[in-house]
Amino acid sequence: MAKISVLGAGSWGTALSVLLNNNGHEVRLWSRFQEEVDTLKQTRELTSKLPGVHIPENIDLTADVKNCVETAEVIVLAVPSPYVRGTAELMAPYVKDEQIIVNVAKGIEEKTLMTMTDIISEEIPAAGVYVLSGPSHAEEVGRGIPTTCVISGPKRETAEYLQGIFMSPVFRVYTTPDTLGVELGGSLKNVIALAAGTADGLGYGDNTKAALITRGIAEIARLGTKMGAHMETFYGLSGMGDLIVTCASVHSRNRKAGYLMGKGYTMQQAMDEVKMVVEGVYSAKAAKSLAEKYDVEMPIIMEVNKVLFEDKPASDAVRDLMIRDKKVEAPMLPAQTRGFEKNI
């Protein structure tokens, strides 16, 4: 049994707290807001986001960040990506050398273009920072529906230790050394999901969504490999797996926001309607900046930015994607096979 503090009492933090408690660990769940803690203690349920998911009595609910950090063997940082840096700053005075922090937020900081683990490491250099990611909606994890994720970080032994902490009959965890690939896949898929949701809102069909998913992962992989990540990661759980679930699921806040924009909502109106942090909106500008920095062609990402921030009609964005110059689907194939001398 491990002493685990989960910082962030939103849907994902709450679902992971329930999972870890069911795995036999001693769990504290922290919120920055005492009023939220008091409500959760009374209801033992996050009624607005996880209705029907009971928070067991032995999960300690608290607003005391000092106690949460100082007593934990493992800290799970589960605040939305825009709040990761601020929460890391709040934690920093109480973190011990080599204390394990597992980030579960998905995003890229717009101003610095840093991943979440890089931000945490910058704010808390003494910590050992890991990431848990994959196709994992909180609504399903909280209800014990079988889910599979991947964990990555600097030390294999610690990653395997964390793998054991999270694994259960309903939550399978793999390990990988490719932390950058895991974080890029988890962050950039949210931007593609906005596009997929917008296509749904416009009334387009499965053909369109399949194209956005497959061409979207091609864009993510192009950028990721240029930055030093491994191609295989983008066709695994934290890449293609997370992209599929985020583009297709009714639980996806990014898809829902895109759907509303396809129906004519403004970006702000869509975010207000979703009532949760739409991390794809925050990552879109960062993704565009990374594409420009590394000179990588990412047409879907660029069109999403135009819809979000330049008021371009979504239907025009789809049309412009369709009428671009002719391309080879897989330019990484050997040149002689692209000449069609062989059957491939």
Domain boundaries, the chain: 3-177, 180-322
CATH fold for domain 3-177: Rossmann fold (3.40.50)
Note the pLDDT of residue 75.
98
- CA gap 169, 95 in Å, rounded: 32
Name the helix (H) or strand (E) containing 212: helix 206-227
Q: How far is CA 191 from the centre of its chain?
A: 10
Q: Is 155 a catalytic residue?
A: no
Q: With beta carbons less than 8 A apart as the criterion, state whether 135 and 245 touch.
A: yes
Q: What is the mean pLDDT of the chain?
A: 94
Note the pLDDT of residue 333.
66
pLDDT band at 156; cut points 50, 70, 90: very high
What pLDDT digit, counting tens, does each position of 99-119 carry? 999 999 999 999 999 999 999
Of the residues 189, 209, 256, 285, which is catalytic? 189
Q: With beta carbons less than 8 A apart as the criterion, state whether 199 and 300 touch.
A: no
Name the CA radius of gyration of the chain, rounded.
20
Mean pLDDT in residue range 142-155? 98
Task: For residue 25, report the phi and psi dihedrals to the nearest 5 degrees.
Answer: -90, 160
| % residues pLDDT > 70 (the chain) | 96
Mean pLDDT in residue range 175-185? 98
Q: Which two tokens stand for residue 180?
A: 């950058």
Output the pTM of the full model.
0.93
What pLDDT digit, counting tens, does each position of 47-85 carry? 999 999 999 999 999 999 999 999 999 999 999 999 999
pLDDT band at 341; cut points 50, 70, 90: low
Q: Which CATH number fits domain 180-322: 3.40.33.10, 3.30.420.40, 3.30.360.10, 1.10.1040.10?
A: 1.10.1040.10
- CA gap 27, 38 in Å, rounded: 17
Q: Which residue has the tokens 């399978």?
A: 172
- CA gap 318, 234 in Å, rounded: 24
Which of 15-29, 231-245, 275-289, 320-334 comes out lowest in average pLDDT? 320-334
Give the end-to-end CA distance of the chain in Å, rounded to a whole number.
Answer: 52
**Residue 338 scores a pLDDT above 70:** no
Q: How far is CA 330 from CA 63, 239, 244, 302, 341, in A?
A: 51, 18, 20, 20, 16
**Residue 231 scores a pLDDT above 80:** yes
Note the pLDDT of residue 342.
47
What pLDDT digit, counting tens, does each position of 305-333 carry? 999 999 999 999 999 999 999 888 877 66
